[in-house]
Copies of this chain bind each other. A is one copy, B any other.
Amino acid sequence: MVENSRPLDALNNARNKRVIIELKNGKQYLGKLTAFDIHINIVLEEAEEKENGELKRKLGVVFIRGDTIIMISPA
């Protein structure tokens, strides 16, 4: 990652790769990051919802509102 890079560059690097997203409500979403914007609204494909590391359901495409997100990391 180059000097003076911006946070959204890190999201761009993660595009089309699998990420884990931690939400403020304690749940996690895993999936392929296909879209994001400056509000950190996110679209995942092939998404799974987890709680305490346990798979709760498979969801396909999900749109996640940015203000519910704590962190995003490569899965």
| Interface, chain A (partner B; CB < 8 A) | 1, 3-11, 14-16, 23-25, 29, 34-37, 40-43, 45, 47, 59-74
Number of chain copies forming the complex: 7
Residue picked from A7, A36, A69, most chain B C-beta under 10 Å: A7
Give the shortest distance, in Å, between A38 (CB) and chain B (any CB).
9
Distance in angstroms between the alpha carbons of A68 and B23 in the assembled complex: 10
Decide if B59 touches A73 in the complex (CB within 8 Å): yes
Distance in angstroms between the alpha carbons of A46 and B51 in the assembled complex: 24
| Cβ 8 A contact of A73, one of B8, B42, B62, B67 | B62
Q: A9-B35, A42-B7, A43-B7 are in contact. Are A65 and B70 (CB under 8 A)?
A: yes
